Structure 1
Amino acid sequence: MNSSRLFSFLFQGSLVKRISIGLVLGILLAIISPELAAKFEVLGSIFVKALRAVAPILVFVLVVSAIATREVGAKSNMKSIVWLYICGTFLAALTSVIASFMFPVTIPLQAAENSLTPPGSISEVLTTVVFNIFDNPIKAIAEANFIGILAWAIALGLVLRHAADSTKNVFNDISEAVSKIVHLVISLAPFGVFGLVSATLADKGLGALVDYAYLLSVLLGSMFFVAFVMNPAIVYWKIRRNPYPLVWECIRVSGLTAFFTRSSAANIPVNMELAKRLNLSEETYSVSIPLGATINMAGAAITITVLTLAAVNTLGIEVSFPTAILLSVVASVCACGASGVAGGSLLLIPLACSLFGISADVAVQVIAVGFVIGVLQDSTETALNSSTDVLFTAAVCLAEEKTAEKNA
């Protein structure tokens, strides 16, 4: 009986409650014994690795199955969702520009070594994205290239629409099997969060962030504003009712897990499970969520904008309103291409800095600052990016359901 209760406590019940317990225990262990906490890093590493391993296969089979079995002539919501992704990313960049104007930030620029190579131009970023579309399918799945995975899955799904029902049923069965494996992996989230939190706090702690408290307040403040003010306003515009229950559910489930995994790709299975629980259309979310992990990058746009303007303020460069708007556009484009560039959003800062004539040497120092505050910056950025994928998908699906009820 005791073992049964222990199993139920660890593996059943509310996932959020169990993750919260793992979070608290991880913090306590890091405070009491940092040396012991560091040894539990393996739990977090296994959890993130498992999510990253299953995500590409999950996306591929779900998209193929959804498109292959979709009724001919069925209405797609993808245009509306992609439009929200683009607008949301641009408005996030614009929000961070306004925040940086209201609360100017400066940063210490010191020489720092950086082994990563930033892209040389926006065209290079976009070229990488295009090349990823035409990547070898096996290589795309192995390297978690979700743009390539989506391209091949959509193509295969369209072709299989003319296949025999028995063939379509095979893909349905495979997608169900993979979904069950994903459910098992996600059930291990409390252990993964415990390992990630305890190891992170034991390794870095929060003391290293004190010198960058003001920068972090502007950066994270912009992300919180987007998450709790701007995104709800967009959702209300779509569904015409109180958006906060949906917003909170997405942040509570998707955002919390993404904060600790620090990977939009690794959080795709979590978002898929949440979308299923919200009774959203599988034909829609099986495509929109992996696509969102690639192009819906509000958090990345904020990071690029705030750190670029911090460098601008430090160097005493004047910024006009038209230039600020241009920066928002550039940051949005860069953010959408961040997943195709090794190093993520930080490596795209030099592109934004080039608008103001800031040299590559100085821009690399800004990247170094980004790595210092990454323990909070990257975590919060990923939480915003990933939770918004589900939020915008749900908003469009709910709006479509409301329209259908009116027309019925």
Structure 2
Amino acid sequence: MNNLAVKWNNISLVKRIIMGLILGTILALVVPSATPIALLGSLFVGALKAIAPVLVFFLVMAALCQHKEGKKTNMKSIVALYLLGTLIAGMVAVIASFMFPIKLTLVAGAEGVTPPGGVGEVLQTLLMNVVSNPVSSLANANYIGILTWALVFGLALKNSSDSTKQVIINISDAVSQAVRWIINLAPFGIMGLVFDTIATAGIESLFSYGQLIVLLVGCMAFVALVVNPILTFIAIRKNPYPLVFKCLKESGITAFFTRSSAANIPVNMGLCKDLGLNKDTYSVSIPLGATINMGGAAITISVLALAAAHTMGVKVDIGTAVILSVLSAVSACGASGVAGGSLLLVPLACSLFGIPNDIAMQVVGVGFIVGVIQDSCETALNSSTDVLYTAIAELAKNRKEGKASKIA
């Protein structure tokens, strides 16, 4: 039994995840009523979501309390990349929607869902999350609040005794080890998630919205395989695709199935460590990226809003399209790091064209139908880009300073 476990662990995690994916698909087609298999997926995502807030809190606090004066991080560059990438993604979606206009078959609205009333409300929510109770922030996975309080406590502990700092570091290491154990179970979790998706939703329900899915996924693929490599090349001045593909493979795959940027934070932390990145930087940039780096969300908001406009026969001029790009980028930064977070911001974008809220909520209903694919691809793009932008900021800095880098 021990030999079998050793052999299993010696197989790369990505290969084990692919095996789980294939097995989950086969089981869903052969025994779709085997609900205990689906439970594996729920347990895996639940465990990641449970441990991620604690991991972020102690990692950030430990990094700051032992931070030495004079040590520099790349947070300014990373935040700039997050905002630039999200804006470009929104622009790509707007241009693609003009090139390939789509009309929707509207469905019943998303009952019981209350979208924000405007950009001001989105930003107000973000600011209120900053000052949220620290215990409440941990319990509710409010990463803006978690980051804020981790920064406060980390800075407050800088002048504490070495023994106190060591306790924080030991707790951080223990939580990190627990995360590694959970991630090692990813193949079984992915198997359950794939089984649940195919057994309950099926592929047939997506066929009637095929054009919309192709447009959404096409925009996200363009950003992942064209826009991001261009930004990476500008930063590192060499072939960007090895790094881009590594981030997509090791972060994007798990994010695709968990459909939660928040749940994928531990995976991204591990990937940053494997890449040899500065822990002082990525312990802050990764959880921050799960909140504000939302290129995939900007694409979803723009495409669905313009699809609603085309469906209602609303003429959209270039000026309004530019405003939509900016609006979708700003709104996307307020999208929750959980499944379906961007869909609640579609009515906000629709209001730009004077589309009534009841029609906008029907578009949200369409979004939930295609969400099996849309939200998975969106999260994969968002989460993998968190690592990519963190990596290229460090590579660009090393290149300017003439330093060698561990990153391939």
- TM-score range normalised by the length of the shorter chain: over 0.9
Please say if residues 265 and 287 of structure 2, whose CA atoms lie closer than 8 Å, have aligned partners that are also in contact: yes
Q: 1:342 to 1:399 in 2, by over 3 A?
A: closer
How big is the shift at 1:161? 1.0
Give, in whole Å, the separation in 1 of the partners of 2:403 and 2:156.
Answer: 35
How big is the shift at 1:387? 0.4
How big is the shift at 1:304? 0.3
Please say if residues 115 and 345 of structure 2, whose CA atoms lie closer than 8 Å, have aligned partners that are also in contact: yes
Please say if residues 251 and 267 of structure 2, whose CA atoms lie closer than 8 Å, have aligned partners that are also in contact: yes
Alignment of 1:158-173 (within 5 A): 158-173=155-170
Matched letter for residue 35 of structure 1: S
- Unpaired runs of at least 5, structure 1: none
TM-score scaled by structure 2? 0.97
Bigger mean CA deviation after superposition, 157-166 or 261-270:
157-166
Q: Confirm whether residue 318 of structure 1 aligns to residue 303 of structure 2.
A: no
> What is aligned with 2:272?
275
Give, in whole Å, the separation in 2 of the partners of 1:402 and 1:140.
Answer: 38
Counterpart selection for 1:48 from 23, 45, 48: 45
Deviations 1:242-262 (A, max 9, x none): 110010010001000000001
Please say if residues 107 and 362 of structure 2, whose CA atoms lie closer than 8 Å, have aligned partners that are also in contact: yes
How big is the shift at 1:128? 0.6
How big is the shift at 1:371? 0.4
Please say if residues 96 and 222 of structure 1, whose CA atoms lie closer than 8 Å, have aligned partners that are also in contact: yes
Q: Confirm whether residue 33 of structure 1 aligns to residue 25 of structure 2.
A: no
Counterpart selection for 2:137 from 137, 140, 146: 140
> What is aligned with 1:59?
56
**Paired residue secondary structure (2:102):** coil
Give, in whole Å, the separation in 1 of the partners of 2:68 and 2:176.
Answer: 22
Q: Confirm whether residue 181 of structure 1 aligns to residue 178 of structure 2.
A: yes
Deviations 1:117-157 (A, max 9, x none): 11111111111110000000001001000000000001111
Give, in whole Å, the separation in 2 of the partners of 1:241 and 1:185.
Answer: 35
Please say if residues 273 and 279 of structure 2, whose CA atoms lie closer than 8 Å, have aligned partners that are also in contact: yes
Q: 1:325 to 1:267 in 2, by over 3 A?
A: same
Please say if residues 129 and 340 of structure 1, whose CA atoms lie closer than 8 Å, have aligned partners that are also in contact: no
How big is the shift at 1:160? 1.0
Matched letter for residue 25 of structure 1: L
How big is the shift at 1:342? 9.6
> What is aligned with 1:22?
20
Aligned Cα RMSD in Å? 1.4
- Unpaired runs of at least 5, structure 2: none
Return structure 1 stretches of 4+ with deviation > 6 angstroms.
none
State, as a whole percentage, how many aligned pairs show the same letter.
56
TM-score scaled by structure 1? 0.97
Give aligned pairs, total.
404
Bigger mean CA deviation after superposition, 251-260 or 101-110:
101-110
Give, in whole Å, the separation in 2 of the partners of 1:110 and 1:283.
Answer: 47
How big is the shift at 1:9? 4.0
> What is aligned with 1:150?
147
Matched letter for residue 27 of structure 2: L
Deviations 1:22-79 (A, max 9, x none): 001111111122112x331110011001100110010000001111111112212100
Q: 1:253 to 1:343 in 2, by over 3 A?
A: closer
> What is aligned with 1:122?
119
How big is the shift at 1:311? 0.4
Give, in whole Å, the separation in 1 of the partners of 2:40 and 2:320.
Answer: 46
Please say if residues 339 and 375 of structure 2, whose CA atoms lie closer than 8 Å, have aligned partners that are also in contact: no
Please say if residues 62 and 169 of structure 2, whose CA atoms lie closer than 8 Å, have aligned partners that are also in contact: yes
Q: Confirm whether residue 301 of structure 1 aligns to residue 290 of structure 2.
A: no
How big is the shift at 1:263? 0.5
How big is the shift at 1:209? 0.4
> What is aligned with 1:5?
3
How big is the shift at 1:109? 1.9
Please say if residues 132 and 340 of structure 1, whose CA atoms lie closer than 8 Å, have aligned partners that are also in contact: no
